[in-house]
Every structure is written in structure tokens, then in C-alpha cells.
């Protein structure tokens, strides 16, 4: 992991394009996610992680849904979604930062809270504005359908996901004066010939890549409040802690000696 959030590059990462659908007043976002999925698998391999087949498909769907959504939003917006599935119990976390083009997340199968229904928690920060949270109930096992419910309830507009081909997905969201009947009637087959039937105007090209922004220093910052109350409560009788990033699951080793040096550095800075 890199020490700082990397800025968007014009030549690296997944290329995602947005278009305005003329006469329909809709915004279309599209990308082929094979490159981002490769980065995701490399991250799992580097950290000794592996998701079961059904969970892997679910997480890849969440990664695609979030990235397409981010590309449709302002560049100063950061988005984080947590999806809580009840049968079987699974939590998915995915987050995206439009200022850096970084997206990341992880899947949890242990210590998942039981609820009466599936829930999507959406946290949004735009610029210096305070965090806004939405909570949406949804049915089924599809991330795409869950986010479509979020659009209707929290965004107060329609947003629909489509499969153009394997690992190639499209999000069409309504804009003011959108042709709602047209949007509601679209199918995956319609999307594959949309450029021949509709007038599309390219709005923007952005790039996204797998990037959390976590590193050893930030992990020690998370541990600092506990360490401040006494190293015994943090390390017990051990000399080494193994800890995972709460956002992406990257694994770190923190020694007692390194943590003591970190705390000493913090004391000197005051």
C-alpha cells in the first residue's frame, strides 16, 4: 500500500466513461472491469485472503456498482457503502474517493449483525460538508438491485444497472426531465445497441484503481488511543500484533518496539 492517496492518472487504471443520452435526459456510465478485478485479486493474494465463489461474485458486483456510481458523482465526493445480507449472513463494504480515483473494500462473514431485513448503509461526504447517511431496506441477493432501491429512496430518482457483457457494466441514471418510461423499459439487450438507437454525447473520462490508502503509520494511529492507556492492554504479553485494515483487509504486523517509537514521536510533536 502507498503512504498517500494517489491522484487520478490519465494513463493508468480502469477507464470509465460517462455520456449524456440526448432527448432522454439521462446519464450513462460504462466500464469493463477486468483490469480492476485483476487488482482486486492481486490484493487478496498479497494478503492471504480468499472469498468463496458466491461471495466473490457478490463483492465484484458491489465494486462495479460503486465505481459506476462514483463516476456519475462530483469529483469532490467520497462514497462508502455497507451492505448487510441476512441469508446467509454477509457484510460487504466498498468505498470510493473521486479525488484520487481509489476504490477498495472487503467482505465479512463473521460477527455479522442479524437484522429483520437486508440493509444498505450509504455514507457520502462532499467537499467540506458533513457526512450524510442513508439506510435502505432491500430484498434478494443482488447488489445492483439494492443500489437501484437506494437511488429511488435516497437519491429520489431512478438509477438502473445493466450487463453489457461479462465484466462490462452500465449504469443509467435519470436527470431532470428524464424520459422515465424509456428508462424503466430498458433491458440488457437494449443496452447493447443503445449507441445505434440513441444519441450519446461523451461527457467525461475518469480512471479508477484499487487503492485504499492504508499503511503502517495509519494503522499505528488507529492503535494509538489504546496504546495511550497502557501497552499491556494492547499487546498483553506479546511482542507482535497482527492487524487488518478495517477498510480493505490488508494485513500488517506491528511490533511493541515500533509502537513505542511511534508513541514517543507523537509525544515529542506536542
- What pLDDT, on a 0 to 100 scale, did the predictor assign at position 240? 87
Give the model confidence (pLDDT) of 164-183 as tens digits. 999 999 999 999 999 999 99
Question: 124, 131 in Cβ contact below 8 A?
Answer: yes
- Grid coordinates given for 263: 508513541
Task: Look at residue 68 and tell me whether its pLDDT is greater than 70.
Answer: yes
Nearest alpha-carbon partner for 64 in 156, 177, 176, 147? 147
Give the model confidence (pLDDT) of 133-147 as tens digits. 999 999 999 999 999
Phi, psi of 117 (to 5 degrees): -150, 170
Give the model confidence (pLDDT) of 5-17 as tens digits. 444 445 678 999 9
Q: How far apart are CA 28 and CA 113, in angstroms?
A: 35
Q: Measured at the alpha carbon of residue 186, what is the angle toward residues 58 and 151, in degrees to the nearest 5?
A: 55
Give the model confidence (pLDDT) of 15-47 as tens digits. 999 999 999 999 999 999 999 999 999 999 999
pLDDT band at 225 (very low <50, low <70, confident <90, very high): confident
Tell me how crowded residue 114 is: count the other CB atoms within 10 A of its CB.
7
Average the pLDDT over 217-241 and give the result. Answer: 80
Nearest alpha-carbon partner for 57 in 144, 115, 117, 186? 144
- Grid coordinates given for 24: 432522454
Alpha-carbon distances of 238 from 230, 232, 259, rounded to whole Å: 14, 9, 13
Amino acid at each position: 500500500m502507498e503512504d498517500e492517496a494517489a491522484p487520478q492518472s490519465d494513463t493508468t487504471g480502469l477507464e470509465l466513461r460517462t455520456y449524456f443520452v440526448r432527448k432522454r435526459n439521462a446519464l450513462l456510465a460504462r466500464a469493463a472491469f477486468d483490469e480492476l478485478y485483476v487488482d482486486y485479486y492481486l490484493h487478496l493474494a498479497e494478503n492471504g485472503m480468499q472469498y468463496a465463489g458466491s461471495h466473490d461474485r457478490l463483492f465484484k458486483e458491489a465494486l462495479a456498482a460503486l465505481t459506476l456510481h462514483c463516476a456519475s458523482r462530483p469529483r469532490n465526493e467520497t462514497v462508502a457503502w455497507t451492505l448487510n445480507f441476512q441469508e446467509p449472513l454477509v457484510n460487504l463494504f466498498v468505498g470510493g474517493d473521486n479525488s484520487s480515483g481509489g476504490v477498495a473494500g472487503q467482505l465479512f462473514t463473521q460477527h455479522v449483525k442479524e437484522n429483520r431485513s437486508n440493509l444498505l448503509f450509504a455514507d457520502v461526504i462532499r467537499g467540506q460538508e458533513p457526512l450524510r447517511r442513508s439506510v435502505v431496506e432491500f430484498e434478494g441477493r443482488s447488489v445492483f438491485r439494492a443500489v437501484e432501491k437506494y437511488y429511488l429512496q435516497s437519491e429520489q430518482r431512478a438509477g438502473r444497472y445493466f450487463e453489457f457483457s461479462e465484466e462490462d457494466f452500465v449504469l443509467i441514471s435519470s436527470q431532470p426531465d428524464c424520459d422515465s418510461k424509456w428508462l424503466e423499459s430498458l433491458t440488457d439487450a437494449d443496452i447493447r445497441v443503445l449507441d445505434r438507437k440513441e444519441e450519446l454525447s461523451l461527457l467525461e473520462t475518469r480512471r479508477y484503481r484499487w487503492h485504499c490508502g492504508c499503511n503502517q503509520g495509519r494503522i499505528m494511529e488507529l492503535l494509538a488511543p489504546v496504546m495511550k492507556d497502557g501497552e499491556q492492554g494492547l499487546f498483553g504479553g506479546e511482542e507482535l500484533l497482527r492487524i487488518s485494515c478495517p477498510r480493505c483487509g490488508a494485513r500488517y504486523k506491528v511490533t511493541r518496539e515500533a509502537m513505542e517509537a511511534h508513541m514517543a514521536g507523537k509525544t515529542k510533536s506536542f
